């Protein structure tokens, strides 16, 4: 076999190997936001808030029609003022209770979440605590399953979570759980409430189907201080990060692993170049 035909065959074999291995890599999807869209799906710029919820769930479900998993132990947060029922916000966005394929959700309490089989769901929906009905008990339960959530995401699952600034009914036992503690690579500000005026989408955010009117006209309650390796969806008028999204695998500590597929393809290319290098006489 001459060098030309041998090289062509080797190129095809390596490309096929790389494609096959990359095709078998499961990719989870995450959308996190400082918007309390579950509140504003019922009050304020409802059209924009509902579109944020739908685009977040479309992205994190990735075409999977299994129901989403909503955690809501109680509506005790409503007693704090400035809160509305997150389940109603989800319903207003077009979702219906049920465990059949389509735009359906299954609701569990904090104790139910602890034993839930996450693989049955296309995405986990985590309400906001300032605006919605995420209680300390709920967040404590979610944070305690951080490792299980990483495994679920790496198996192709999804997660959509909204604003957390600690304004919620306390956990029943122990200190307040960490905001977004289920994704410990995320770093948020101290409570950061602001009216949404002058917010703007990135090109990535626009690719999700969002428009600028969706992310303005309501309130947000936290910003992210770093990307955590994720893609920026939108920023406020001062450039601070309001929402992040990611699709891919997570490393051992949960950090988004942007190099796994690139490393595979890079290794395949290096192998190809080495085997095609002319031999010395």
Q: Give me the pLDDT at residue 13, please.
A: 37
Provide the pLDDT confidence category of residue 257 given band limits of 50, 70 and 90: confident
pLDDT at 190: 78
Percent of the chain predicted with pLDDT > 90? 74
Mean pLDDT of 10-17: 39
pLDDT in tens, 41-96: 999 999 999 999 999 999 999 999 999 999 999 999 999 999 999 999 999 999 99
Contact 19, 143 (CB under 8 A): no
pLDDT for 90 equals: 98
Kindly report, residue by residue over 93-143, the tens digit of the pLDDT.
999 999 999 999 999 999 999 999 999 999 999 999 999 999 999 999 999
pLDDT of residue 2: 52
Q: Does the pLDDT value for residue 202 go beyond 80?
A: yes
């Amino acid at each position: 076999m001459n060098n030309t035909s041998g090289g062509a065959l080797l190129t095809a074999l390596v490309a096929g190997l790389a494609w096959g291995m990359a095709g078998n890599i499961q990719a989870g999807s995450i959308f996190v936001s400082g918007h309390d869209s579950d509140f504003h799906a019922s009050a304020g710029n409802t059209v924009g808030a509902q579109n944020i919820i739908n685009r977040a769930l479309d992205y994190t479900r990735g075409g999977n029609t299994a129901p989403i998993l909503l955690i809501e132990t109680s509506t005790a947060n409503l007693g704090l003022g400035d809160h509305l029922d997150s389940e109603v916000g989800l319903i207003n966005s077009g979702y219906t209770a049920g465990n059949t394929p389509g735009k359906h959700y299954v609701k569990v309490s904090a104790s139910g979440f602890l034993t839930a089989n996450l693989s049955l769901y296309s995405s986990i929906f985590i309400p906001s605590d300032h605006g919605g009905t995420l209680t300390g008990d709920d967040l404590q339960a979610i944070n305690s399953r951080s490792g299980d959530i990483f495994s679920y995401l790496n198996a192709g699952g999804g997660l959509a979570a909204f604003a957390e600034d600690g304004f919620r009914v306390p956990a029943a036992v122990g200190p307040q759980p960490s905001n977004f503690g289920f994704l410990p690579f995320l770093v948020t500000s101290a409570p950061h409430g602001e009216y949404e005026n002058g917010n703007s989408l990135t090109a990535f955010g626009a690719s999700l189907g969002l428009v600028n009117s969706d992310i303005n006209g309501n309130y947000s309650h936290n910003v992210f201080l770093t990307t955590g390796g994720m893609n920026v969806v939108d920023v406020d008028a001062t450039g601070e990060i309001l929402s992040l999204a990611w699709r891919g695998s997570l490393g051992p500590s949960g950090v988004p692993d942007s190099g796994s597929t690139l490393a595979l393809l890079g290794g395949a290319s290096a192998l190809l170049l080495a085997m095609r290098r002319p031999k010395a006489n």
